């Protein structure tokens, strides 16, 4: 009995440790406050530091080809992007299919929502032969606003020329139905040489207030077929990488902003904290004169099929964890059933039925084993009285009693042990990919968030601030169902073990308060099915 109680306690501690690890992984450590605004271009730039080179001003005043900066709008089936000719940079990128919050009236989510003192992404710079940054260069534009649908394509060609004859060209090719954008960048000096440009991606450094609808995950890259993840706190310290770069960019829980080199061999990556900005730079080791640097620009949702379609392992930007071999098949099952139900809540219930059917033989065997142990309790008590002073002999006699009656003392714990990998895999399948973001079910507005956030119930004034500000109705129902399940589960008569097992529902209830509602739906339905199975086995055993 003591072994079973110890195993159950160990499993409980394991659940709590895993939960704490999840919280740390998904929320991260808040970065330190920003160190001040970026200097204006009229100020003298600071000398470059070895660990965090700051953006530099142009080496020569730009020859403006227009009187003022101009905004260019590109609208496709999936997004609305705004570019500015000031630096030929991306000013806004709004997803047409994804809202900024769970409120149905909220505007589309804009992944390029940066403070005024943070540089816009898609700038270029180089350190030699003369340091240069195109932030102050006013580009000419060939083409105007684009409105693309279906298979139609459109092109924007930005060209900037400085007074010393340096010419920078940025060419972007868009498609009406897909997220990837073809990007070509080239630079040519008056003497015919071509400096190697670094393409810049930017993000604000102050992530102390995370966006629950798209938490910032940091800098993510695939270098030499290994995924490198720098969490927000690590990004703040800076990093430099080199090798065969498949892709690199800034990740959010549900979205990714990345560059994919056409040929990633011998590329360099750097990420630094400069004032209120995080600046990531990607460049080839060298470029031949007259050749352009070709990339695929991906700004889109973390949908498996979309990411896999690029063919460079971009799906690895989704942090599925060690149980991805479970999470991904479960996610595909949800995709399949969603084609028929159009409700992810129903899909989760159907998935629960499927998992329960697959595990039913183990559950049945476990329950029967516990019933047999319960019937052996009187004989075990006699053995305890007989061998009170001989623990070794007592253990041998108990094991012999189990053997004669065909009882496995660990049989009752096996389904619980096997349930944990499924539980963890399902947690990642429901909380990481974008499918459940803002997915409604019954009164729940977002299956990827805790259920209490969907109810506008007011809480009493004495309610502790550490507790949820809403009432977790679904979580309470889950806890009650788990309590009933534990009450119906036969025990071997050990009072301490039974008390400990009856505490499990309370522990799980507190844990599930912060878990996605989709996972709570799964656990609640699983409990109800287990209660029904236990009731049926009990009646058939009479």
Dist. CA 93–CA 85, nearest whole Å: 15
Residue 341 lies in a domain: no
Taking residues 457-484, what's their average pLDDT?
Answer: 70
Whether residue 401 is predicted with pLDDT greater than 90 in this model: the reply is: no
pTM: 0.77
Residue 485 CB neighbour total at 10 angstroms: 19
| Bridge partners, 283 (sequence order) | 268
**Which of 83-97, 275-289, 508-522 tops mean pLDDT?**
83-97
We report the CATH number of the domain holding residue 234 as 2.70.98.90
253 and 363 housed in the same domain: no
> At which of 319, 335, 356 does a domain end?
319
384 and 485 housed in the same domain: yes
135 and 284 housed in the same domain: yes
pLDDT tier at 261 (50, 70, 90 boundaries)?
A: very high
261 and 117 housed in the same domain: yes
Whether residue 107 is predicted with pLDDT greater than 90 in this model: the reply is: yes
Residue 528 lies in a domain: yes
Which residue is associated with the tokens 């159009």? 342
Rg (CA), the chain: 29
Residue 433, domain extent: 347-540
Reference 29, options 230, 233, 214; nearest CA is 233
Average pLDDT score, the chain: 79
Dist. CA 158–CA 70, nearest whole Å: 12
Whether residue 18 is predicted with pLDDT greater than 60 in this model: the reply is: no
Dist. CA 286–CA 267, nearest whole Å: 9
Dist. CA 102–CA 304, nearest whole Å: 22
406 and 465 housed in the same domain: yes
Give the Å distances, CA to CA, from 479 to 459, 510, 525, 528: 20, 9, 12, 11
> At which of 299, 319, 339 does a domain end?
319
pLDDT in tens, 518-530: 989 998 998 899 8
Dist. CA 142–CA 24, nearest whole Å: 47
Reference 147, options 76, 79, 82, 90; nearest CA is 76
Q: How many structural domains does the chain have?
A: 2
More confident residue, 454 or 225: 225
Residue 176 lies in a domain: yes
Residue 39 lies in a domain: no
Least confident of 70-79, 164-173, 504-513: 504-513
76 and 135 housed in the same domain: yes
| Bridge partners, 126 (sequence order) | 132
* The 3-state secondary structure of 99-114, one letter per residue: ECCCCCCCCEEECCCC
Show the DSSP H helices in 60-181 as ranges. Answer: none
149 and 285 housed in the same domain: yes
Reference 207, options 221, 191, 195, 219; nearest CA is 219
284 and 383 housed in the same domain: no
Helix (H) or strand (E) holding 425: helix 414-431
76 and 217 housed in the same domain: yes
Residue 464 lies in a domain: yes
Whether the CB-CB separation of 139 and 85 falls below 8 Å is answered with yes
List the 167-175 sheet strands across, edge first: 140-142, 153-161, 167-175, 181-188, 293-301, 255-261, 245-252, 216-223, 226-230
Reference 48, options 220, 281, 207, 286; nearest CA is 281
Whether the CB-CB separation of 56 and 195 falls below 8 Å is answered with no
Q: What is the pLDDT of residue 195?
A: 83
> At which of 301, 319, 337 does a domain end?
319
Whether residue 85 is predicted with pLDDT greater than 90 in this model: the reply is: yes
422 and 306 housed in the same domain: no
The tokens for 108 are 């589309």
Which residue is associated with the tokens 């904290």? 273
Dist. CA 276–CA 270, nearest whole Å: 17
- Span between the terminal Cα atoms of the chain, in Å: 25
Q: What is the pLDDT of residue 19?
A: 46
More confident residue, 317 or 130: 317
Residue 2 lies in a domain: no
The tokens for 245 are 């770069």
Taking residues 397-404, what's their average pLDDT?
Answer: 78
**Which of 40-44, 257-261, 496-500, 503-507 tops mean pLDDT?**
257-261
Whether the CB-CB separation of 326 and 425 falls below 8 Å is answered with yes
Residue 19 lies in a domain: no
Q: What is the pLDDT of residue 23?
A: 42
Whole-number percent of the chain with pLDDT over 90: 30
259 and 352 housed in the same domain: no
pLDDT in tens, 478-510: 889 988 887 776 665 556 666 666 677 888 888
Residue 518 lies in a domain: yes
Burial class (CB in 10 A: 0-12, 13-18, 19+), 428: buried
Least confident of 198-207, 405-414, 441-450: 405-414
Whole-number percent of the chain with pLDDT over 70: 78
Dist. CA 530–CA 533, nearest whole Å: 5
Whether the CB-CB separation of 74 and 145 falls below 8 Å is answered with yes
Dist. CA 41–CA 39, nearest whole Å: 6
Whether residue 35 is predicted with pLDDT greater than 60 in this model: the reply is: no
243 and 97 housed in the same domain: yes
């Amino acid at each position: 009995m003591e072994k079973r109680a110890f195993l159950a306690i160990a499993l409980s501690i394991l659940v709590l440790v895993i939960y704490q690890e999840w919280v740390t992984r998904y929320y991260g450590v808040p970065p330190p406050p920003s160190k001040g605004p970026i200097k204006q271009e009229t100020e003298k730039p600071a000398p470059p530091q070895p660990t965090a080179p700051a953006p530099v001003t142009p080496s020569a005043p730009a020859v403006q080809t227009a009187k003022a900066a101009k905004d260019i709008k590109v609208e496709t089936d999936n997004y609305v992007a705004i570019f500015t000719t000031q630096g030929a940079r991306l000013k806004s990128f709004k997803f047409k299919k994804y809202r900024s919050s769970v409120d149905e009236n909220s505007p589309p989510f804009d992944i390029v929502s940066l403070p005024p003192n943070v540089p816009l992404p898609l700038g270029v710079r180089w350190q030699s032969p003369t340091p240069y940054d195109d932030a102050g260069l006013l580009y000419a534009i060939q083409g105007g606003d684009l409105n693309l649908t279906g298979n139609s394509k459109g092109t924007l060609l930005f060209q900037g020329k400085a007074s010393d004859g340096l010419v920078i060209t940025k060419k972007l090719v868009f498609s009406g139905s897909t997220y990837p954008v073809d990007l070509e960048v080239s630079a040519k000096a008056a003497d015919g040489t071509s400096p190697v440009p670094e393409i810049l991606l930017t993000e604000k450094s102050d992530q102390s207030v995370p966006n629950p609808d798209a938490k910032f995950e940091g800098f993510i890259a695939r270098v030499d077929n290994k995924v490198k993840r720098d969490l927000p706190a690590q990004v703040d310290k800076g990093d430099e990488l080199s090798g065969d770069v498949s892709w690199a960019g800034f990740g959010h829980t549900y979205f990714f902003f990345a560059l994919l080199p056409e040929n990633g061999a011998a590329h360099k990556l750097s990420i630094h904290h400069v004032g209120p900005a995080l600046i990531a730079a990607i460049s080839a080791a060298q470029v031949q004169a007259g050749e352009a640097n070709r990339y695929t620009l991906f700004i889109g949702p973390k949908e498996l099929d979309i990411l896999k379609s690029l063919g460079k392992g971009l799906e690895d930007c989704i942090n599925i964890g060690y149980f991805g071999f479970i999470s991904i098949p479960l996610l595909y099952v949800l995709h399949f059933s969603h084609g028929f139900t159009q409700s992810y809540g129903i899909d989760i219930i159907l998935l629960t039925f499927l998992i329960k059917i697959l595990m039913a033989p183990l559950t049945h065997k476990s329950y029967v084993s516990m019933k047999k142990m319960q019937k052996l309790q009187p004989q075990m008590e006699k053995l305890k009285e007989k061998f009170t002073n001989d623990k070794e002999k007592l253990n041998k006699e108990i094991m012999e009693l189990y053997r004669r009656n065909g009882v496995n003392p660990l049989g009752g714990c096996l389904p619980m042990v096997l349930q944990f990998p499924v539980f963890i895999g399902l947690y990642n399948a429901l909380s990481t990919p974008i499918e459940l973001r803002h997915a409604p079910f019954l009164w729940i507005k977002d299956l990827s968030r805790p259920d209490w956030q969907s109810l506008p119930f007011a809480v009493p004034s004495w309610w502790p601030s550490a507790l949820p500000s809403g009432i977790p109705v679904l979580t309470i129902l889950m806890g009650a169902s788990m309590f009933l399940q534990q009450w119906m589960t036969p025990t071997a008569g050990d009072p301490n073990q039974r008390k400990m097992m009856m505490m499990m529902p309370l522990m799980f209830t507190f844990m599930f308060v912060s878990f996605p509602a989709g996972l709570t739906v799964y656990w609640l339905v699983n409990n109800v099915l287990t209660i029904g199975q236990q009731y049926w086995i009990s009646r058939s055993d009479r």
